[in-house]
A = this chain, B = another copy of it.
């Protein structure tokens, strides 16, 4: 028996790997893989991987509708036409392998529901953290466990920029420019540096970790463009490092999913994730603290993840079964950011005179925010008050900062950043 496979391709590395490793893949799957067709937008374009011209078509919909196709591999990205193509494939009981994080984040539940109704597989390991085997462990190995929290560095571009700022003292603009020169950042870096890419991945992680519908619109998102060398230096003084984190938490009767820069202790396993690497840190009831680390992007790692999924769904297909259902069986509300519980690091430019600390402390007390540590740096007119709070609702912390900003003893709120990755008691 042969599993016929359809590739809707932008990622020719997948096609290259399928033919280069044909014998090995057949041994692992138990039957040969056959490429039934490749849909492309520009059929005449020169490509690094040779594909039989007879397999190439521009009519993707006709290809996914063919009766002789078992598996549809989608790597074109974007919402449409990917969504229509994949829904057509799933409804026709074809297995789907995709790397499309935008689609899964925006409308994953529609895809999952179509897959479940049809009894078809929907695999998407490549959509988050590239080649790191991450979604499968969340979906399978931790199936008997309860995940409390996921902290992820899921965007390599921003990690590279923040790592550069930390090691060289560069400002954001210079670090971005270097990342662009090295190919780590796009000419238009908005999707990365404003956190859109990380937010889509956070939604997918939350769906899988908590078995509940979460879409990109539910994710609170802040990018890294406002992070200054001063913030990085403040983090360093605290023994921390600044990372753009995707945070998924369960609690207060719902889930909180957010993407923002945060200070984490240098002793935290995520702090050692350098350059453009990705890592996802999971806290689960039984398994404890786990971390998955690796290359987050790039054609070859992505192809590796897609290939692993193809092997899995092809094996399921041959066995007449499908993988564990990754879809919803809880229906937890996504909580607004104001209800997320976090800690703040706040640096205030103040006048160094008696009574300032009392006035500032009073403001925190008014908002029911408890202070963990205060440190004064500098003297006289250059004094800075550095405050780290205990955990409190984000809304209380934010309105406390708003208040501080209007106080006459506070010249300026120099830096505000959330602190994550450690218990505060």
Contact = CB atoms under 8 A, between A and B. Distances in A.
Interface of A: 17, 21, 24-25, 27-28, 125, 131-133, 136-137, 140-145, 267, 269, 271-274, 277, 279, 284, 286-295, 298, 300-301, 303-305, 307-308, 310-312, 315-316, 319-321, 324-325, 329
Number of copies: 2
A300 B315 contact: no
Contacts of A137: 133, 136-137
Contact of A286 (B142, B145, B307, B319): B307
Given A28-B144, A133-B137, A293-B293, A17 B311 contact: no
A161 to B, nearest CB: 18
A28 B25 CA distance: 28
Contacts of A307: 144-145, 286
Given A133-B137, A141-B308, A295 B301 contact: no
Contact of A141 (B17, B25, B136, B145): B136
Residue with the greatest number of chain B CB neighbours at <10 A, chosen from A125, A277, A279, A304: A304
Nearest to A13: B286
Nearest to A291: B293
Contacts of A308: 140-145
B269 A288 contact: no
A273 to B, nearest CB: 8
A125 B140 CA distance: 12
Contacts of A145: 304, 307-308
